[in-house]
Homo-oligomer: A and B are copies of this chain.
Amino acid sequence: MARVSIKDIAIALGVSNATVSLVINGKEKEGRVGFEMAEKIRAKAKELNYEPNNLARSLRIGRSETIGLIVADISNIFFATLAFHIQEYAEKLGYTIVITNTNEDTSKMEKMIQTLQSRQVDGFIIVPTENGEEYIAKLVKSKIPVVLLDRCFPAIETSHVMIDNHQTSYLATRHLIALGCKKIALLTYKNKLHHMAERKRGYVEAVQNANIFDAGLIKEVNYENITEDTNNAINDLLKIKDLDGIFFSTDSVCVAGIKYMQETDKNIFKKVNLMSFDRNEIFDFVNYDVPYMMQPLPEMGRRAIDILVNKIVNKSNTSEKIELQASLHS
């Protein structure tokens, strides 16, 4: 039951390893192997049930045709869907995707990157953690191809694929304003990630332009303590007279918010308009049509792969910064 190698085929047929390798890789034309010999080799390969050893191949050619995908939380439907699209597309290009998970933990991210590097991945697509800037900077400096996804560090010169968070947030807020809202709250994560700051900036710009800015309407919650923090924030907000809009900067906060509001006041949605970032399945079960800004997940995945593969294949070193548009669903 020992695995059969190129050598076994070569010996069985009395030819050289080189000839077999050429045929197996379909290089018989440029490679100058006779048609009959090629046919014999293919037949023998099938007969012996030959399966190539890609480890050996990778070692020899110096590429593994494997890409490391590092996401923040694979059990979050947003990242799971993104991972799904990335895998689908990468497969078409002949790359295998290795997905790993950081749980928003920087030391874990570092460990994952090291593990994958020792397995010789050709490049990385990374959703970086909040405190991961230093390590990502080091990684990028080491010249291994990297594309950041969904999030970025403006101080580092890297390629990234994300949406235009500022613009998306601005448009989301404008939508509430167009609906006639005058007191619009923002419920967002408290962290240093740039994309979150951009979402806040988009909101602030929109309410300022409409002359309805009020710093007291901005509430920030911690990722680790989302339920309790959100409940408290909503409690505070509902005390505000004439509150008529809440913009949630992610669907996870929106879900937590809606859950609490439903329990608190069944008629809340008649008074307060919501807006979410990304869709969540639970929206179908709420007695209110939640409008949301949808990120183009399949395209984000494709673009990330395209840029990364270009870096890998052409050794391109330019930083491509892609910011896609999200679409309003209401």
Contact = CB atoms under 8 A, between A and B. Distances in A.
A312 interface: no
Interface stretch (A58-66, A156-164, A181-189, A211-219): A58-66
Instruction: Give the number of copies in the complex.
Output: 2
A54 B119 contact: yes
A100 B86 CA distance: 11
Contact of A284 (B100, B142, B282): B282
A142 B3 CA distance: 10
Chain A: interface residue count, which band?
A: 35 or more
Contacts of A120: 53-55
Interface in A247-297: 255, 258-259, 262, 281-282, 284-286
A87 B100 contact: yes
Contacts of A87: 74, 100-101
Contacts of A142: 1
Interface string A81-111: 1011001000000001111110000000000
Contact of A114 (B51, B56, B262): B51
Interface in A110-128: 114-120
Interface of A: 1, 51-56, 58-59, 64, 66, 74-75, 77, 80-81, 83-84, 87, 96-101, 114-120, 142-143, 255, 258-259, 262, 281-282, 284-286
21 contacts: A1-B142, A51-B117, A54-B118, A54-B120, A55-B55, A55-B64, A55-B119, A56-B59, A59-B59, A66-B119, A74-B80, A74-B84, A74-B87, A75-B81, A75-B84, A96-B119, A98-B98, A259-B284, A281-B281, A282-B282, A282-B285
A295 to B, nearest CB: 15
A75 B298 CA distance: 13
B118 A51 contact: yes
Nearest to A81: B75
Nearest to A118: B54
Given A54-B120, A59-B59, 5 more contacts: A75-B80, A77-B77, A84-B101, A97-B100, A281-B282
A52 B284 CA distance: 50
